[in-house]
Amino acid sequence: MTPAVKRLSAPALWRSVQPFSDSRLEWPNAWRAWGAVAVLFVAYALAFIDRTILTLLVGPIRADLHISDTQVSLLHGFAFAIFYTVLGIPIARLADVSNRRNIISWSAVAWSLACCACGTARTFGSLFLARIGVGIGEAGLSPSAYSMMADLFPEKRLSLAMSVYTSALYLGAGFALIIGGAVIGMAMRLPPLVLPLIGTIHAWQLTFFVVGLPGLLVGALMLTVREPLRRAKPLASGAPKARFVDTVAFMRTHARAYAGHIVGFTLISVVYNVAVAWAPAFLIRQLGLSTSRAGYFLGVVILLAGISGVVIGGLLADHLRRRGRLDATLLVGVISIAVAAPTGAGAFSMTQFGPFLGLFAVMLFGASMAFGAAAAGIQVLTPNRMRAQASAAYLFTLNLLAVGAGPTFAALLTDYWFHDDLRVGDSVTIVICVAGPLAGLVLLRARKPFVACVTLTAGAAP
């Protein structure tokens, strides 16, 4: 067998993802490390189903609650994002000093119950409050998960692990559209459903129950994961403290590195979120697809393009890092937006379904490359006992601006600039054309301070 074939053999591929390549620390074995990632993957997938199902339900929610695109965008974005981001910081503070597994378990129960509560809503206000509950519950997941994975995998394997975890959002978003479309299509053919204590519910309300209840099982499944040993990398002045004020002080000292990383990847997320949030409405309003058909095709594309993009992005970041590029995660971000921005803008300019779906798939693949690398970048910038809090600061900005403001800004353009629901594609294109070039510029300018901060943190390892 030639050397080339040996490098592609199954044992070699298995060794390439095993989480022990640092001789100074004894890392968990591969089965335990990747088993934990598998459970976290399931949790994140179900969380993202609960988070994004609303994008497919715009039409029936508007019809039943008599609300505008702007109000729908507030339900999708700010109702979720504000409390998700604000409460993410104190929960992350708790994750840096206590059991992260238990935090995730209780969080899963909370967001699942809140998603079911969305199915009981009768007014805009009650649905807004239920969406706040989803945001509060999910605030405990990703900062705790990021911190756990950084204690399960050494730096040169971390981007792949983060990317596998992050790929769950595409699984969740894809299934949210596929399942949501199927449930709506089925429910539309059924007589009104009457539930005890709740009363009559519409098809869109039933969808929230269908996607929300399985999350309760995740809370129990998470308890099978063992809390990993923390692997501290103290600074020269002593071990880092876990207080949020100390995390803020560290991030301020390296403000150019953190700001460049967070702002750059947030702008990439704006491109992704505005496209995914309004793609169903674009297909239904402008291209004439049914809700179930739009959900099916978008769901399949998100599953295939999103998962492949984020995993390839993680592999590329790890490859660049092993070749000595300390700015590997930022380089992946630059490649990501170079692919996503032009194809995203082109997709929402199409007047036919086939060309739209092709360009949309390329946009999703490109944007998805960034997100596993982005999460890994925060971990390698930050000392151990500050990682969950630094991750929460990153998610605070990303969700407030990308999940909250991005889709809302597009809705404001549709409602108050164009005054035409059929111009939603033009609104999305404008947002992408502004956010995309800015993302590339910010990431390129952040490379030097990012490398300096990574060098300091890595050099402090025992």
Is residue 449 pLDDT above 80, yes or no? Answer: yes
Angle subtended by helix axes 255-285 and 447-459, to nearest 10:
120
Q: Residue by residue, what is the 3-state secondary structure of 221-255?
A: HHCCCCCCCCCCCCECCECCCCCHHHHHHHHHHCH
CA–CA separation, 416 and 418 (whole Å): 6
Residue 236 lies in a domain: yes
Q: Report DSSP state, residue 240.
A: P
Residue 171 lies in a domain: yes
Q: Which of 101-105, 111-115, 291-295 has the lowest mean pLDDT?
A: 291-295
Question: CB–CB of 57/207 below 8 Å?
Answer: yes
Residue 21 lies in a domain: no
What are the backbone dihedrals phi and psi of residue 458, each rounded to the nearest 5 degrees, phi first?
Answer: -65, -35
CA dihedral 285, 287, 291, 297 (to 10 degrees): -140
Q: Best-predicted range by mean pLDDT among 99-113, 188-202, 281-295, 379-393?
A: 99-113
% of the chain surpassing 90 pLDDT: 28
Band the pLDDT of 192: cuts 50, 70, 90: low
Number of Cα atoms under 13 Å in the Cβ half of residue 194? 1
Question: CB–CB of 219/106 below 8 Å?
Answer: yes
Q: Which residues of 304-334 are buried (b: 16+ CB within 10 A; e: fewer)?
A: ebbbbbbbbbbbbbbebbeeebbbbbbbbbb
Q: Which of 86-90, 180-184, 325-329, 388-392 has the lowest mean pLDDT?
A: 180-184
Task: Count the Cβ atoms, other than its own, within 10 Å of residue 456.
Answer: 17
Tokens (6 digits) for 295: 């959900």
> In what helix (H) or strand (E) does residue 199 lie, and over which residues does it extend?
strand 199-201
Question: CB–CB of 52/174 below 8 Å?
Answer: no
Cα dihedral 397, 398, 399, 403 sign: positive
Tokens (6 digits) for 433: 């054309």
> Burial of 100 by CB count in 10 Å (0-12 exposed, 13-18 middle, 19+ buried)?
buried
Of 14, 370, 450, nearest to 169 (Cα)?
370
Task: Please count the structural domains in the chain.
Answer: 1
Greatest CA span in the chain, whole angstroms?
A: 69
Q: What is the pTM of this model?
A: 0.70
Residue 7 lies in a domain: no
Question: How many Å separate Cα 308 from the centre of its chain?
Answer: 15
Is residue 328 pLDDT above 80, yes or no? Answer: yes
Residue 106 lies in a domain: yes
pLDDT of residue 242: 55
CA–CA separation, 193 and 205 (whole Å): 10
Pairing between β-strand 199-201 and β-strand 193-195 as defined by DSSP bridges: antiparallel
Query: C-alpha distances in angstroms, 52 versus 26, 122, 194, 407?
Result: 39, 20, 25, 12
CATH classification at residue 425: 1.20.1250.20
Is residue 221 pLDDT above 50, yes or no? Answer: yes
Tokens (6 digits) for 210: 């269908």
Tokens (6 digits) for 95: 């994750």
The number of helices, as runs of H, and strands, as runs of E, in the chain is 23, 2
Q: Which of 95-104, 155-164, 406-415 has the lowest mean pLDDT?
A: 155-164
Band the pLDDT of 374: cuts 50, 70, 90: confident
Residue 16 lies in a domain: no
What separation, in Å, do the N-terminal and C-terminal C-alpha atoms of the chain show?
41
Is residue 310 pLDDT above 90, yes or no? Answer: no
CA–CA separation, 163 and 372 (whole Å): 4
In terms of pLDDT, which residue wins out, 2 or 281?
281
Query: C-alpha distances in angstroms, 452 versus 18, 326, 391, 447?
Result: 28, 9, 19, 9
In terms of pLDDT, which residue wins out, 316 or 70?
316
Question: CB–CB of 369/166 below 8 Å?
Answer: no
Q: Which residues pair with 194 in a beta bridge?
A: 200
Q: Which of 375-384, 433-442, 452-461 has the lowest mean pLDDT?
A: 452-461
Tokens (6 digits) for 267: 């702008």
In terms of pLDDT, which residue wins out, 84 or 308?
308
CA–CA separation, 42 and 47 (whole Å): 9
The residue type at 371: F
CA–CA separation, 407 and 55 (whole Å): 10
pLDDT of residue 19: 44
Number of Cα atoms under 13 Å in the Cβ half of residue 386? 24
Residue 1 lies in a domain: no
Q: Residue by residue, what is the 3-state secondary structure of 129-143?
A: HHHHHHHHHHCCCHH
Tokens (6 digits) for 259: 């700001």
Q: What is the pLDDT of residues 193-215, one digit of tens each?
A: 777 777 777 777 888 888 888 88
Residue 205 lies in a domain: yes
pLDDT of residue 357: 93
CA–CA separation, 177 and 258 (whole Å): 34
Query: Could you list the residue range(s) of the whole structural domain that residue 210 is in?
Result: 32-459
CA–CA separation, 175 and 215 (whole Å): 14
